[in-house]
Structure 1
């Protein structure tokens, strides 16, 4: 799966000479360091300080997840990309241009939701037309009129709710949800959304780590203790493209099935290990999808597109260039 390694079983991760070694059930699985950029620990994994030092020297980011498949935290190598100059500019942008950047993120979310829905409308699903018309004709006006973050977030929230309301026209009946429930997810579609969003959030953390941006200073979401809020901002734009397109394809092609791939309990529903592996494979394939970026005149992946959005933010802060997040239709 490219530069990402997933560990989905309980075990111990250690350094073995100049390689990583994952030990489970008294068997060793070796992970080459050369092409590894990030590791996802999806189960209980034991580590030690010797390993952390080795990971730091090789600039490998490790993401940890809890029992409910939610994000717990990230091990960061020491901050080799810190920039005092950009930090000052990022704080200035938050103070002076927060609404401009937040509105750009919401416009990006809506544009990409539109493109994802339009694919199904084009394939003779006329029921989606009302939501498409609202995104095209009413959402921009509502966004323009927003004068503070709360109003901007309300426009974003309504956009997502209208998107969710169309799932009944896209997915088979047993996957349709009544409402979005996150912690913990309570039905199969909520489980898929939560897991996909968490994977994308971690991918975005890695992308931002490899720039000079500060994870803590965000624009759409409130900067808060205990989470990397800029990663929430940047990842939102890519959710329709990466998370939801992956979900729609896996469910509609019956590669994921409720009876086979989910563990259901009284208050929660989670992907089982087989279901997680199917989703991860499709998610990684989506991340590595190659397309022509017209401005650069070269082929890139969605992984690269996320990082390019970070650089767009940097150019806005340093050079005053207009910030426009990735647009699925324009491929840039």
Structure 2
């Protein structure tokens, strides 16, 4: 899994000499500190302050998730990348150019959704063409003509609804979505979307942490006291590329099946431990898959592309260079 370690079982995470030790069912599993940049705790994990000191010294971020596979919070070391100058400029940009950044983000989401749908159009799913045409014409026009954030978010909401409406043409019948339900998800496809979006959100938190950007000052989403809203902004354009492509591949290739990989309760539905492991493996493989970046003239992973979007935003804030989020079509 590269630099990310996932803990899917209940247990205790401690420091053992100069490495990490996860103890479950009376057995120790050692986690090397070298190359570990983040840990995802997807179950109940006990920790202590001695461990936190060790994690901080080794610059390792830990993300915690609740019973419903939702994001609870993160521990990360004292921020090494604080920049008062950038923070002041980031707030100034929010006040003066928020709408401009928000439009760029939503245009990026639309572009990437259209590209994902076009893949299926090429593979004889001709029904998706109506949504592709709507994105390329009406959607782009309405975003460009939007006068405020509320109008932008209304068009974005319609974009996602149209995308979900195409699932019936892409996925087998037992995975078709009736409506998007988040907390908690009520069927297998909602469970996959929620879990994937949560993993991507945490990945983006880690990427932003390693830049000078401030997590709290966002542009599309309202800055909020209860969450890192800039991570929501940056992650949006990557959802079609990373989360939904992972879901479609796993479901259509029957690597995830309703009967085998989900726990269905009275009012909700979650991936079971086997299902989570399958999803995490595919999610990480997609993050680490590479493409040739046309401007950098070298191979870049999708994980790096998230960080590059952070740097693009910094360039916009500090130097007023146009902010164009990652495009699946352009590969940059």
Task: Give me the TM-score of the superposition, normalised by structure 2.
Answer: 1.00
Matched, 1:67 2:60: no
Instruction: Provide the residue aligned with 2:260 in structure 1.
Output: 260
SS at match of 1:2: coil
Matched, 1:114 2:119: no
SS at match of 2:9: coil
Instruction: Provide the residue aligned with 1:133 in structure 2.
Output: 133
SS at match of 1:283: helix
The 1-side partners of 2:304 and 2:25 are apart by 37
Instruction: Report matched runs for 1:45-64 at 5 Å.
Output: 45-64=45-64
The 2-side partners of 1:100 and 1:156 are apart by 15
Count of matched residue positions in the alignment of Structure 1 and Structure 2: 332
Instruction: Provide the residue aligned with 2:243 in structure 1.
Output: 243
Instruction: Provide the residue aligned with 2:317 in structure 1.
Output: 317
Instruction: Provide the residue aligned with 1:219 in structure 2.
Output: 219
1:124 CA drift (Å): 1.2
The 2-side partners of 1:126 and 1:8 are apart by 40
Task: Give me the TM-score of the superposition, normalised by structure 1.
Answer: 1.00
1:146 CA drift (Å): 0.8
1:152 CA drift (Å): 0.4
SS at match of 1:324: coil
Instruction: Provide the residue aligned with 1:328 in structure 2.
Output: 328
The 2-side partners of 1:92 and 1:297 are apart by 34
When the two chains are superposed, the root-mean-square deviation of aligned CA atoms in Å is: 0.4
Q: Deviations over 1:7-56 (max 9, x none)?
A: 00000000011100000011110000011000000000000000000000
The 2-side partners of 1:330 and 1:286 are apart by 17
The 1-side partners of 2:42 and 2:6 are apart by 7
Matched, 1:295 2:295: yes
Instruction: Provide the residue aligned with 2:282 in structure 1.
Output: 282
Instruction: Provide the residue aligned with 1:269 in structure 2.
Output: 269
The 2-side partners of 1:197 and 1:270 are apart by 14
The 1-side partners of 2:227 and 2:106 are apart by 20
The 2-side partners of 1:325 and 1:161 are apart by 21
SS at match of 1:223: coil
1:268 CA drift (Å): 0.2
The 2-side partners of 1:198 and 1:140 are apart by 27
1:125 CA drift (Å): 1.2
The 2-side partners of 1:184 and 1:281 are apart by 23
Instruction: Provide the residue aligned with 1:143 in structure 2.
Output: 143
The 2-side partners of 1:319 and 1:208 are apart by 19
SS at match of 1:168: helix
The 2-side partners of 1:144 and 1:309 are apart by 21
Stretches of structure 1 lacking an aligned partner (at least 5 in a row): none
Instruction: Provide the residue aligned with 1:192 in structure 2.
Output: 192
1:88 CA drift (Å): 0.4
Q: Deviations over 1:142-170 (max 9, x none)?
A: 01111111000001111111000000000
Q: Deviations over 1:85-114 (max 9, x none)?
A: 000010011000000000000000000000
Instruction: Provide the residue aligned with 1:182 in structure 2.
Output: 182
Q: Deviations over 1:118-152 (max 9, x none)?
A: 00001111111110100001011101111111000
Instruction: Report matched runs for 1:35-114 at 5 Å.
Output: 35-114=35-114
1:76 CA drift (Å): 1.1
